[in-house]
């Protein structure tokens, strides 16, 4: 009895696939309806969207801290669209970046690899500058290059910071389209206004002409200085346009805002509106753009088959008083290997795919490379070490994250390691004139980050077995590590 039914289902589905236009008799239609009802648990009729290759949108803020969003506990910054994304999707509370400053963090996200492996970290320079000679090596495989293999349309909108010369730009790294400022918004400083004075108590009157940064479309400079007053809005609008233009193909949008990196700018609809001041104005404009992107996905019927991620490249830049963000309850900020430097908000939204919840397992921006490659059916390169792991079990089903550890590099030195709940600091160091001097710890300082997220209480003496495991992990990592040629040091 069972096999004849299977046989009929098979026949009917083959007929359907061959698009046979022969008129189907009434009894057969009834039979088909019955069988469809019967098989609704095991067959995917009517679920086309959930089975096809998903679209990906990564929204990457600059210098936004763990404590800067409403959903992560900020008391006055209003981020209703991000809060809703977190509520409808997954909010990760132990989500990390690959480095605590711009260039290496961006390289880590796009290649799935620790920056030390591809020369995107250096003992001589922390990031790339407008007079840097080099950029991301051509033999690195970016997430955009991966997704191109499966026919994706790809756009990079916003801050690049992986090399501003033509051969290093997004259009030579797997992106069909680029619109943005190719490095930080505080570079090319030419005017009298200088945000650095803010650290000493000061100057707030900064105009866009003070920073002569170029705005590029693909490889052409279309505006200089870039009008930073409107840049956040324009980036979000570009993302919406690209989504609408590419709605019939799978697409990948990497939207890397230049803000809230200092100097801060907001368009007139947002200026002076936030209780948090200018920094809050900037974040509320970024959040507004997130809302526009989600609305566009819904309007175009793409929401069920798209995954949107929001995170930031590193923690808040703390010396600049209210112009810098907040790491919330985490210690220190940008540039450091304390939690405030490298743990970030991590929000995943995708109503057709992401199982809603708050996730306290470990994740990293490097995992986006592996996860999205796998979701698109593209093998991860096997001729090099890829540090990303596939977070799909957690994203789709609340399974345990396969990530067990986090390596905290500062430039080319391994400062700290997290294994499960525990984090060992081998080296600690101040940054931007704050948080003390460089110290080497032997034995290392040990914290339990689940019980002590602010890194206050050293428990190394009580847990020698944990330190042994972490030392083994470090030895295994270092024994296989091949450092890439330094791409950050050389200047013109």
Spell out the alpha helix ranges (H) of 187-277.
231-245
CA dihedral 62, 64, 69, 74 (to 10 degrees): -160
Phi and psi for 422 in degrees, rounded to 5?
-100, 145
Q: How far apart are CB 364 and Ca ion at their closest, in Å?
A: 16
Residue window 356-385: x/- pattern of binding to Ca ion, with contact defined by CB under 5 A: ------------------------------
CB of residue 427 to Ca ion, shortest distance in Å: 21
Q: State which residue, 63 or 140, has the beta carbon closest to Ca ion.
A: 63
CA distances from 458 to 42, 405, 443 (A): 53, 19, 11
Residue 284: CB minimum distance to Ca ion, A = 19
Residue 185 has a CB neighbour count (10 Å cut-off) of 25
Record the tokens describing residue 424, joined without a space. 């060992």
Nearer Cβ to Ca ion, position 147 or 487?
487
Q: Tell me which H or E stretch contains 90.
A: strand 90-96
Q: How far is the CB of 97 from Ca ion (least distance, A)?
A: 9
Min separation Cβ 227 and Ca ion, Å: 21
- By the 10 Å C-beta count (0-12 exposed, 13-18 middle, 19+ buried), 393 is classed as middle
Choose between 170 and 324: whose C-beta lies nearer to Ca ion.
324
Of 111 and 184, the one with the shorter C-beta distance to Ca ion is 184
Active-site pick, 74, 81, 156, 161 = 161
Query: Which listed range, 311-319, 337-345, 395-403, 417-425, lies at the site for Ca ion (CB under 5 A)?
Result: 311-319
Choose one: 33-41, 308-316, 398-406, 453-461; the region binding Ca ion (CB under 5 A).
308-316
In the region spanning residues 50 to 69, those forming contacts with Ca ion, defined by CB under 5 A, are 62-63
What's the rounded Cα separation, in Å, for the pair 80 and 188?
34
β-bridge pairing 177-180 and 153-158: parallel
* Torsion angles phi and psi, residue 470, rounded to 5: -65, -40
CA pair distance 4, 480, nearest whole angstrom? 57
97: tokens are: 């970046």
Minimum CB separation of residue 127 from Ca ion in Å reads: 8
The interface region with Ca ion, picked from 296-304, 305-313, 441-449, 471-479 by CB under 5 A, is 305-313
232-271 residues near Ca ion, rule: CB under 5 A: none
Beta carbon nearer to Ca ion, 111 or 314: 314
CB under 5 A: which stretch of 276-284, 306-314, 336-344, 454-462 binds Ca ion? Answer: 306-314
Q: Distance (Å, rounded) from C-alpha 291 to C-alpha 270? A: 15
Q: Which residue has the tokens 């980036």?
A: 235
Asked if residue 487 has a cis previous peptide bond (ω within 30° of 0), the answer is no
Catalytic, 161? Answer yes
Nearer to Ca ion, 186 or 361 (CB): 186
- CA–CA distances in Å: residue 81 to residues 30, 88, 284: 46, 10, 9
400-419 residues in contact with Ca ion (CB under 5 A) are none
The Cα 288–Cα 465 span in angstroms is 48
C-beta of 102 vs 449, nearer to Ca ion = 102
CB of 103 to Ca ion, least distance (A): 9
Q: Quick one: which segment of 86-94, 99-107, 133-141, 225-233 binds Ca ion (CB under 5 A)?
A: 99-107
Closer to Ca ion by Cβ: residue 334 or 423: 334
Q: Per CB under 5 A, does 102 bind Ca ion? A: yes
**Nearby residues of 152 by Cβ (< 8 Å), 6 or more positions away:** 144, 249, 250, 251, 252, 376
The helix/strand/coil state of 405 is strand
Binding mask 12-51 for Ca ion (x = CB under 5 A): ----------------------------------------
Distance CA 169, CA 263 (A): 23
Tokens of 269: 């609809």
CB of 424 to Ca ion, least distance (A): 25
Asked whether position 313 contacts Ca ion by CB under 5 A, the answer is yes
Nearest-CB residue for Ca ion: 102
DSSP alpha helix (H) spans, 315-387: 339-342, 366-375
102 has catalytic annotation: yes
Residue 210 interacts with Ca ion (CB under 5 A)?
A: no
Q: Which residue among 121, 122, 236, 314 contacts Ca ion (CB under 5 A)?
A: 314
Coil, helix or strand at residue 431: strand
Catalytic residue among 74, 81, 102, 164: 102
**Smallest gap, in angstroms, from Cβ of residue 161 to Ca ion?**
8
Give how many residues touch Ca ion by CB under 5 A.
5
Question: Toward Ca ion, which CB reaches closer, 318 or 389?
Answer: 318
**Closer residue to Ca ion, CB minimum distance, 132 or 246:** 132
Shortest spacing between CB 101 and Ca ion, in angstroms: 6
Q: State the Cα–Cα distance between residues 234 and 208, nearest whole angstrom.
A: 15
- Output Rg (C-alpha) for the chain, integer angstroms: 24
Check residue 132 and report its DSSP letter: B
Backbone angles phi, psi at 146, to 5 degrees: -60, -50
Q: Tell me the CA distances in angstroms from 217 to 158, 185, 220, 330, one per residue in order.
A: 10, 16, 5, 38
Contacting positions for Ca ion (CB under 5 A): 62-63, 102, 313-314
Residues designated as active site: 102, 161
């Amino acid at each position: 009895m069972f096999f004849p039914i299977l046989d009929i289902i098979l026949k009917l589905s083959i007929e359907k696939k061959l698009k046979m236009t022969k008129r189907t008799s009434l009894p057969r239609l009834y039979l088909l309806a019955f069988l469809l009802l019967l098989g609704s648990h095991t067959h995917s009729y009517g679920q086309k969207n959930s089975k096809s290759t998903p679209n990906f949108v990564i929204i990457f803020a600059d210098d936004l801290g763990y404590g800067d969003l409403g959903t992560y506990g900020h008391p006055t910054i209003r981020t209703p669209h991000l809060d809703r994304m977190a509520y409808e999707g997954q909010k990760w509370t132990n989500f990390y970046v690959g480095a605590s400053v711009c260039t290496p963090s961006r390289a880590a996200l796009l290649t799935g690899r620790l920056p030390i492996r591809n020369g995107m970290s250096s003992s001589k320079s922390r990031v790339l500058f407008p007079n840097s000679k080099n950029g991301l090596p051509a033999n690195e495989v970016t997430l955009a290059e991966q997704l191109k293999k499966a026919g994706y349309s790809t756009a990079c909108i916003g801050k690049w910071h992986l090399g501003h010369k033509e051969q290093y730009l997004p259009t030579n790294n797997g992106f069909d389209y680029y619109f943005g400022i190719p490095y930080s918004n505080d570079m090319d400083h030419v005017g009298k206004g200088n945000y650095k004075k803010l650290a000493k108590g000061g100057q707030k009157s900064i105009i866009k002409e003070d920073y002569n940064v170029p705005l590029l479309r693909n490889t052409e400079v279309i505006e200089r200085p870039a009008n930073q007053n409107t840049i956040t809005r324009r980036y979000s609008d570009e993302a919406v346009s690209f989504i609408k233009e590419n709605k019939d193909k799978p697409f990948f949008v990497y939207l890397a805002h230049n803000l809230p990196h200092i100097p801060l700018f907001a368009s007139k609809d947002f200026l002076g509106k936030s209780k948090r001041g200018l920094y809050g104005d900037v974040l509320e404009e970024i959040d507004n753009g997130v809302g526009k992107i989600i609305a566009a996905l819904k309007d175009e019927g793409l929401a069920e088959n798209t995954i949107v991620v929001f995170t930031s490249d590193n923690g808040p830049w703390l010396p600049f008083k209210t112009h810098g963000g907040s790491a919330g309850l985490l210690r220190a900020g940008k540039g450091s290997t304390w939690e405030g430097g490298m743990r970030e908000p991590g929000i995943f939204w995708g109503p057709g795919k992401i199982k809603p919840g708050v996730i306290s397992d470990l994740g990293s921006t490097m995992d986006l490379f592996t996860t999205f490659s796998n979701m698109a059916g593209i093998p991860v390169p096997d001729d090099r070490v890829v540090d990303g792991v596939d977070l799909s079990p957690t994203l789709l089903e609340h399974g345990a994250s396969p990530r067990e550890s986090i390596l905290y590099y500062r430039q080319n030195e391994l400062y700290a390691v997290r294994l499960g709940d525990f984090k060992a600091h081998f080296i600690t160091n101040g940054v931007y004139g704050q948080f003390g001097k460089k110290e080497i710890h032997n034995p290392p300082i040990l914290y339990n980050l689940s019980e002590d997220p602010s890194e206050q209480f050293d428990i190394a003496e009580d847990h020698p077995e944990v330190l042994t495991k972490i030392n083994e992990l470090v030895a295994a990592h270092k024994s296989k590590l091949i450092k890439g040629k330094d791409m950050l040091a050389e200047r013109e």
